[in-house]
């Protein structure tokens, strides 16, 4: 059976294996809010007004429905991890479709139009959710400084921060996604959070809201 501890989830997966596509809808709904947080963090802000998190999730559900047989090629993987991969691939396709021309046209970066990428998305998220300078010019400057500082972090530490602090995943889920032991994921999160606090302290106008 797939490596899920929740008996209800295991039952749904068994129904899905038997061809019951309603089970996929129930499984997707079970994880919808976690997947929504993932999309909200990682969706490029330049797509605001054109693409919503709900749009991405709707398209991802259709993708999952078409590709569900692939999950059963490796049924020991957690189903949430597989769904998250499907959503991530759809998000990457959307970015390529909508932003390729913009990336070729120029590379000016402001808080209102951050480039795609974890550091830019994290920087934009922080500026939008923590106490920060209110003046537009100050925000743009803070965005650039924050993105540059986040880029200096170890990429795995940065991803742990995104998964735990912003996507609100459990330590176990984070470890499964990154392919590391839970103890290692926990240590990396504590380290990354400490680094983030130090980064925010260097930026004028911020208060500690992490």
DSSP code per residue over 52-118: -HHHHHHHHHHHHHHHHHHHTTSTTS-HHHHHHHHHHHHHHHHHHHHHHHHHHH-----TTSPPSSH
Could you say which DSSP state residue 164 is in?
Answer: I
What was the pLDDT predicted at 152? 83
- Contact between residue 199 and residue 119 where contact means Cβ atoms under 8 Å apart: no
Token output for 50: 């054109």
Give the pLDDT of residue 103.
57
Q: What pLDDT is stored for residue 203 in this prediction? A: 72
The pTM of this model reads: 0.76
- Distance (Å, whole) CA 189 – CA 40: 21
| Cα–Cα distance, 42 to 37 (Å, whole number) | 9
pLDDT for res 142: 78
Going along the chain from its start, the domains and CATH numbers come out as 1-106 (1.10.1740.10), 107-210 (1.10.10.10)
**123 φ, ψ (degrees, to nearest 5):** -60, -45
**What does the pLDDT read at residue 67?**
96
Average pLDDT per 10 consecutive residues for the chain, totaling 210 residues: 66 95 96 94 84 96 96 90 95 88 48 49 74 64 82 86 89 93 94 85 65
Instruction: Answer whether 29's CB lies under 8 Å from 8's CB.
Output: no
CA distances from 209 to 70, 100, 136 (A): 41, 34, 20
Please give the backbone phi and psi of residue 52, each rounded to the nearest 5 degrees, phi first. Answer: -110, 165
Predicted pLDDT of residue 85: 95
- The pLDDT score that the predictor gives to residue 65 is 96
């Amino acid at each position: 059976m797939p490596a899920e501890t929740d008996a209800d989830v295991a039952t749904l997966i068994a129904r899905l294996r038997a061809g019951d596509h309603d089970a996929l809808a129930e499984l997707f709904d079970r994880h919808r809010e976690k997947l929504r947080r993932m999309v909200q963090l990682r969706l490029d802000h330049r797509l605001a007004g054109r693409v919503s998190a709900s749009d991405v999730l709707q398209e991802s559900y259709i993708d999952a429905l078409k590709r569900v047989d692939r999950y059963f090629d490796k049924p020991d993987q957690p189903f949430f991890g597989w769904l998250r991969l499907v959503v991530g691939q759809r998000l990457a396709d959307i970015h390529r479709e909508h932003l390729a021309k913009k990336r070729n046209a120029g590379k000016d970066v402001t808080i209102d139009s951050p480039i795609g990428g974890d550091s830019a998305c994290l920087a934009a998220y922080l500026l939008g959710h923590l106490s920060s300078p209110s003046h537009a010019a100050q925000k743009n400057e803070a965005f650039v400084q924050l993105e540059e500082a986040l880029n200096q972090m170890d990429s795995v530490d940065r991803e742990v921060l995104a998964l735990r602090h912003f996507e609100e995943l459990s330590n176990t889920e984070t470890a499964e996604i990154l392919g590391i032991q839970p103890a290692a994921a926990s240590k990396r999160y504590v380290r990354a959070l400490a680094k983030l606090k130090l980064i925010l302290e260097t930026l004028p106008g911020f208060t500690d809201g992490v």
